[in-house]
């Protein structure tokens, strides 16, 4: 059994059922209460609920962004202040103590009409240990010490939005999942490499944050302009040094 299989040891092979109960309130809009079957894996750490107005990832909202930590012993979560006339789509992920997330659970939505008059149940989905199904930032989690750390969350959101949504990105994540667990284990157990990796990840975190806020294409254009500027500056500086050398 390789290091990846050891790292994922059974966690992603659980059946993760998401049951949806919907309630509404006439005061501040609609409240949606989600209930799911507990994940029974021993290394379970927490859950994250995702929702948005489009039927699938990337979801516009999630419980972590609201600062809500859904403990492993909790199996319900209520989303408030939703538009009663808007259809919302919901899914969940389970995360283990290493920060590795399962695939999204089965999707449920509010398309049945008035949430106060409906209750929807969804069948379970089986998470897979192979492939780019979840967005576990092994190395970042090992370096920062928690999957809830803001830098790690930025990288995970970038992965969910820009990598797991296309074939090229999924292939890259597959490669990352193959080699990163053993590296992450080493980093987690050594203080100096952990500090070095933290500093080394800062540019990546910065680029990911910019991409999440202004989009991937504008970010790539911005980086290209910076590289062009650096290149031109280096050429000008080199020429000035050569001219001064010839004069002396």
Model pLDDT for residues 89-98, shown as the tens digit of each residue: 888 888 888 7
Burial 172-209 (b: 16+ CB within 10 A, else e): ebeebbeebbebbbebbeeeebbeebbeebeeebebbb
Per mean pLDDT, which range of 11-20, 32-41, 72-81, 170-179 is the poorest?
A: 11-20
Q: Read off the tokens for 200.
A: 């080394």
pLDDT at 120 over 50: no
**Between 107 and 210, whose confidence is greater?**
210
DSSP category for residue 91: E
Per mean pLDDT, which range of 43-57, 75-89, 101-115 is the poorest?
A: 101-115
pLDDT at 28 over 50: no
Share of the chain above pLDDT 90, in %: 16
- The fold adopted by the segment(s) 1-130 is Immunoglobulin-like (2.60.40)
Q: How high is the pLDDT of residue 49?
A: 92
Task: Check: CB of residue 35 under 8 Å from CB of residue 86.
Answer: no
Domain ranges for the chain, please list them: 1-130, 131-214
Band (115; pLDDT cuts 50, 70, 90) = very low
Per mean pLDDT, which range of 78-87, 96-105, 119-128, 153-162 is the poorest?
A: 119-128
Distance of CA 28 to the CA centre of its chain: 29
Query: What count of other Cβ atoms lies within 10 Å of the Cβ of residue 240?
Result: 10
Q: Is 170 exposed, middle or buried (0-12, 13-18, 19+ CB in 10 A)?
A: middle
Band (8; pLDDT cuts 50, 70, 90) = very low
CA distance 44 to 99: 10
Q: Is the pTM higher than 0.75?
A: no
């Amino acid at each position: 059994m390789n290091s990846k299989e050891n790292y994922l040891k059974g966690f992603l092979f659980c059946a993760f059922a998401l049951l949806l109960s919907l309630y509404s309130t006439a005061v501040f809009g609609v409240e949606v209460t989600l209930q799911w079957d507990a994940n029974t894996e021993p290394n379970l750490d927490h859950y994250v609920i995702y929702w948005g107005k489009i039927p699938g990832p990337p979801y516009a909202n999630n419980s972590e962004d609201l600062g809500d930590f859904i403990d492993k012993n909790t199996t319900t979560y209520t989303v408030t202040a939703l538009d009663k006339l808007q259809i919302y789509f919901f899914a969940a992920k389970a995360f283990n103590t290493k920060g590795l997330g399962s695939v999204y659970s089965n999707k449920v939505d509010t398309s049945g009409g008035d949430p106060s008059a409906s209750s929807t149940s969804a069948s379970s989905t089986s998470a897979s240990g192979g492939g780019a199904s979840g967005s576990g930032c092994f190395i970042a989690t090992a370096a920062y010490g928690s999957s809830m750390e803001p830098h790690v969350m930025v990288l995970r959101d970038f992965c969910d939005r820009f990598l797991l949504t296309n074939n090229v990105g999924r292939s890259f994540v597959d490669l990352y999942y193959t080699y990163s667990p053993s590296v992450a284990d080493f980093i987690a157990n050594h203080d100096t490499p952990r500090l070095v990796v933290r500093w080394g990840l800062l540019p990546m975190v910065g680029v990911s944050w910019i991409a999440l806020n202004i989009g991937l294409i504008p970010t790539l254009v911005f980086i290209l302009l910076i590289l062009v500027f650096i290149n031109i500056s280096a050429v000008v500086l080199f020429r000035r040094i050569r001219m001064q050398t010839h004069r002396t």
